[in-house]
Structure 1
């Protein structure tokens, strides 16, 4: 049996024998073309996915401010969320996590995580709070909640009325 190889740079991508070539049902020339088009380490052609560097680092909150990070995830009918509270020195104060067995969209799960973070912050005697999430749709909805007439906007307005006791609330 003769072996044929298709190479991308110095790495061997596909190794065919005559027997496996007939089983797979496509020719070696097509495999070579595909390997050149979709090779991850192809340094000759410019990458189709642009690299956009972004700095992701933890920023210390202002003095006297409690920073709340919350996030949520959805997988089929299972949802999970996590909340972490840190003081102005960056020390962990309190955290929590939870799971639900309901089918929800990612926006509603993030809103549920925001609600849980509000429950945690009520336990502290602070007036300045910074909420941080990586869900940009929820952050923009919270910032523009006065103009939002949807059901989610109604819930956000309801949550924000409960946190009016704080002097300074920021959502990032």
Structure 2
């Protein structure tokens, strides 16, 4: 797959934002616009954005930090988990691997109700901890998520999960 250049990526993001905005206008206001109007609005906004960046300091930073998956340190098990929220259900997924990237286990599931994103990520964390116990994962474990609120709560917590016999909700 070819990597998009910055101009093409900016154009794509502006177009997607306009499509999303049109969808929200339809859902919440009952107002829907033709695709050609959405396209023209996105094209104009993208051009205005480029002109603004030429006249003023760029709104987007020129240095891009590439985040890549890293294998866990020697002796650690890495547990990656994520959640997704649908209209009437919530899903989660878990994968565990050792420092050689060998998959030790994983899983996932669905819950037949809508949750907040934060609640869904907390459920995924709880299910991750339960699976680690079920698979008898001993030693040092790194739990990894992309949910910033949960990471911040986790870092500020003084709770030692190993001291608990019963897992408690983090939320």
Runs of at least 5 residues in structure 2 that lack an aligned partner in the other structure: 1-32, 34-39, 165-171
Aligned partner of 2:46 in structure 1 is: 39
Moved more, 46-55 or 58-67: 46-55
Higher helix share: 2
Aligned partner of 2:152 in structure 1 is: 140
- TM-score for both structures, normalised by structure 1: 0.60
Look up the SS of the partner of 2:92 in the other structure: strand
Q: Aligned runs of 1:81-92 on 2, under 5 Å? A: 81-92=92-103
- TM-score for both structures, normalised by structure 2: 0.60
Aligned partner of 2:20 in structure 1 is: none
> Does the C-alpha gap of structure 1 residues 46 and 89 become closer, same or farther in structure 2, counting only changes over 3 Å?
same
**C-alpha displacement of 1:88:** 1.0
Runs of at least 5 residues in structure 1 that lack an aligned partner in the other structure: 1-23, 25-31, 147-156, 166-172
> Does the C-alpha gap of structure 1 residues 40 and 76 become closer, same or farther in structure 2, counting only changes over 3 Å?
farther
**C-alpha displacement of 1:44:** 4.3
Residue deviations 1:131-160, cap 9 Å, x none?
A: 0000010011112234xxxxxxxxxx5xx5
Aligned partner of 2:138 in structure 1 is: 126
Higher strand share: 1
Count of matched residue positions in the alignment of Structure 1 and Structure 2: 122
- The whole-number CA distance in structure 1 between the counterparts of 2:116 and 2:50 is 39
Aligned partner of 1:164 in structure 2 is: 163
Residue pair 1:36, 1:42 contacting (<8 A) in 2 also: no
Aligned partner of 1:65 in structure 2 is: 76
